[in-house]
């Protein structure tokens, strides 16, 4: 926890890989969510789902070996700390954290867990393993993830207002207000470029048909649905 940011300098808090993960996950999740109801979009839906899983896998690794504020150890808060933080929001001087606050950290963990659950159940359902209940679990996990995303957005807006800082902008430029000695020394741009290159390579290979084990089940199911419609 740090003091109020109103008089502090702007320092680097969020490295480029963390910021890219955040916005790429936003795009991949919402794209997967809106494409999930149409069988004709099943291939795109599955590829966005695999993208979500890949991003989460990266974030789990980066949470262990990444920069100071990206590491899970920096936002490992217990229930009591979450309760105190939420209670402080009702006071004239709410608690302020340079990295993830306690409430935001729990939202982060929940989103990662639900992303894994939704992705794995989606893959199993696509492989026709588990039956209809698995598809229901997949849909339920996605809906719950959407609900937490909306709560997370609302929390970011409220926190921005209470602390007088733009949290959305900080996740774009990586900068927040704090003491100079608390800032990151490097944005780790090279890791961010590797992440983007890996996603580009995955999508290129998938769309070219070079990953049949991932794309064929969705393609075959789309064709089956189209044949049923023709009949």
Residue 33 confidence (pLDDT):
97
Q: Is the pTM of this model over 0.85?
A: yes
CA distances from 19 to 6, 30, 79 (A): 23, 17, 26
CA distances from 221 to 154, 162, 179, 227, 228 (A): 38, 49, 55, 10, 11
Average pLDDT along the chain, 231 residues, taken 10 residues at a time: 62 98 98 90 96 98 98 96 95 93 96 97 90 93 97 94 93 95 95 98 96 90 65 51
What's the chain's length in residues? 231
According to DSSP, residue 129 is labeled: -
Residue 141 confidence (pLDDT):
97
Q: How many angstroms separate the CA atoms of 58 and 44, rounded? A: 21
Residue 38 confidence (pLDDT):
82
Q: Say which residues have a Cβ less than 8 Å from residue 38's Cβ, sequence separation at least 6.
A: none
CA distances from 20 to 94, 106, 159 (A): 29, 20, 22
Residue 40 confidence (pLDDT):
85
Residue 3 confidence (pLDDT):
45
99, two tokens: 């990295």
Q: How many angstroms separate the CA atoms of 189 and 15, rounded? A: 8
Residue 149 confidence (pLDDT):
96
Residue 187 confidence (pLDDT):
95
Provide Rg for the chain, Cα atoms. 20
Q: How many angstroms separate the CA atoms of 11 and 98, rounded? A: 10
Residue 190 confidence (pLDDT):
98
Q: How many angstroms separate the CA atoms of 199 and 205, rounded? A: 10
11's enclosing H/E stretch is strand 9-12
Helix 102-126 × helix 42-65 angle, to 10°: 140
177's enclosing H/E stretch is strand 175-178
Residue 7 confidence (pLDDT):
54
Q: How many angstroms separate the CA atoms of 171 and 221, rounded? A: 38
7, two tokens: 């008089």
Residue 229 confidence (pLDDT):
56
């Amino acid at each position: 926890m740090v003091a109020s940011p109103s008089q502090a300098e702007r320092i680097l808090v969020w490295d480029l890989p963390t910021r890219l993960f955040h916005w790429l996950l936003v795009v991949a999740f919402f794209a997967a969510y809106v494409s999930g109801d149409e069988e004709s979009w099943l291939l795109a839906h599955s590829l966005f789902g695999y993208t979500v899983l890949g991003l989460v896998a990266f974030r789990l690794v980066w949470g262990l070996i990444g920069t100071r504020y990206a590491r899970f150890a920096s936002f490992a808060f217990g229930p009591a700390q979450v309760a105190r933080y939420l209670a402080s929001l009702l006071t004239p001087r709410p608690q302020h954290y340079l990295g993830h606050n306690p409430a935001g950290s729990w939202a982060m963990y929940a989103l990662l867990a639900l992303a894994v659950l939704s992705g794995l159940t989606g893959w199993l359902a696509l492989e026709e393993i588990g039956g209809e209940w698995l598809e229901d679990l997949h849909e339920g996990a996605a809906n719950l993830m959407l609900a937490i995303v909306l709560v997370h957005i609302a929390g970011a807006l409220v926190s921005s207002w209470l602390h007088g800082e733009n949290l959305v902008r900080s996740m774009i430029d990586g900068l927040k207000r704090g003491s100079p000695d608390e800032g990151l020394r490097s944005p780790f741009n090279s890791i961010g470029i590797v992440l983007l290159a890996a996603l580009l390579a995955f999508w290129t290979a998938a769309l070219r048909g070079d990953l049949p084990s991932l794309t064929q089940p969705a393609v075959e199911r789309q064709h089956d649905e189209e044949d049923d419609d023709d009949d």
